[in-house]
Chain A
Amino acid sequence: MIAAMWWTAEQGYMQWHKWLGAGLIGLLVYRLVWGIVGPRTARLHTLIPRPSALIEYLKSLRSLQYRRSFGHSPLGGLAVLALLGLLWVQTGTGLFSVDVNGLASGWFGHWISFDLGRSMADIHEQVFDLLLAMIGLHLLAIAGYAIFLRTNLVTAMITGKQDGGTASESDWDVKAPVARVMIALILAACSIAGTIWMGR
């Protein structure tokens, strides 16, 4: 998705870029709603680590005395928040960005002036570099956990399941009830439709 967004922007396929962006809003809204009504390990407030837990965790990493945490680790939680935050800023500025020719603009570009739209586009470009760095760091961390700590994080990311968690699953609300999935899906679909309907 990110690669397709980059490619369409580089090639100047701005209408495709906008469709993909609308889709990305859907994904972000889904994740936001999931972060509120979803299972415990997905909730956003559980991703904010206590400073003491973070320091403790960093010490355990240094000494390779790594113990798997249930759900995101303190550092991993921060990374998720950073990635999601950057994606929100990136998508939000994209909605209002205006291209240098004054011809193409984001869905809501007509609501603001050319100059403000150009500033949005500048931020949109710089945040993309930060996003790439964060993605690079993310991949590096996955490799690091696999090599030094013999931990496979990818399966847990996709399925939400991992072996050898230190906490008992029964202590946590880890279910994904259909009704909650539906709420998130409907709100995501509404946000995509709303963007396209209000935008130009």
Chain B
Amino acid sequence: MPITKTFALGAAAVLFLAACGSGTEPSDPSAGSETLDNGMTVRAQIEARQDGYKTIGRNFKTINDQLKTSAPDLTEIQAAAAAMVEASAGMVDWYPAGTGPESGVKTEALAVIWEEPEDFTLKVSEYDTALGALQTATTSGDFDAITAVARATGSTCGACHDKYRLDD
């Protein structure tokens, strides 16, 4: 084989490996049809919690976007905080056994959630506490105070995501 051909093949291999690395695992569309104790299927539970987090993220973004403006809209911040509290209710129960990556359903929840349930529950309760403080802070019009509590709340999100969610 000529040297140049070897080299070209090497280059092609680099591109191929990179393409593989960037792809996501294919998920089995028929997986997750088992019924859980709460009556939901595994797939429905996983999708419900993903929707829950999207609602939380959407509303938290609203709050943070408002706080970055020169004249934040307090009513909008209060509504978003209330929506976060509502969407976060019962979060710790969103993870029945069998709804992890082993289910075959596409999820970024890591198996370590079920391996360290005490720490996971603690981190969720720290988030709940921070969120409660955020909602309380939004009753005042003190935007500096709200910003500080919002940052603290965001870091409780991050604490769980760092350890229990597939790194992206």
Contacts and interface: CB of A to CB of B under 8 A. Distances in A.
B57 interface: yes
A101 B161 contact: yes
Contacts of B59: 102
A117 B18 CA distance: 24
Interface of A: 12, 61-62, 64, 98, 100-103, 105, 109-110, 113-115, 117-118, 121-122, 125-126, 129-130, 132-133, 136-137, 140-141, 144, 148, 200
B103 interface: no
A133 B133 CA distance: 45
Contacts, number: 86
A101 B58 contact: no
Contact of A61 (B4, B22, B58, B60): B4
A93 to B, nearest CB: 14
A101 B168 CA distance: 12
B64 A103 contact: yes
A12 B5 CA distance: 42
Nearest to B57: A102
Interface centre among B3, B4, B59, B157 (most CB of A within 10 A): B4
B56 interface: yes
Interface in B114-168: 150-151, 154, 157-158, 161, 165, 168
B65 interface: yes
Given A62-B2, A140-B10, A100 B57 contact: yes
Interface string B46-62: 00000000101111110
A117 B2 contact: no
Interface in B1-24: 2-5, 7, 10-11, 14-15, 17-19, 21-22
Please name the 7 residue pairs, one residue from A and one from B, whose CB atoms are nearest each other, closest first. Answer: A133-B18, A103-B154, A102-B60, A129-B22, A101-B157, A102-B61, A114-B58
Contact of A115 (B14, B15, B21, B54): B54
Contact of B22 (A118, A121, A130): A130
A113 B58 contact: yes
Contacts of B158: 12, 101, 103
A147 B3 CA distance: 10
Main secondary structure of the interface of A (DSSP, over half): helix
Nearest to B56: A102
Contacts of A105: 61, 64-65
Contacts of A133: 14-15, 17-19
A65 B64 CA distance: 60
Nearest to A200: B68
Contact of A137 (B3, B11, B151, B161): B11
Given A113-B58, A125-B168, A148-B7, 5 more contacts: A12-B158, A103-B154, A110-B68, A118-B57, A136-B18
B142 to A, nearest CB: 19
A62 B4 contact: yes
A29 B68 CA distance: 27
Contacts of B18: 129-130, 132-133, 136
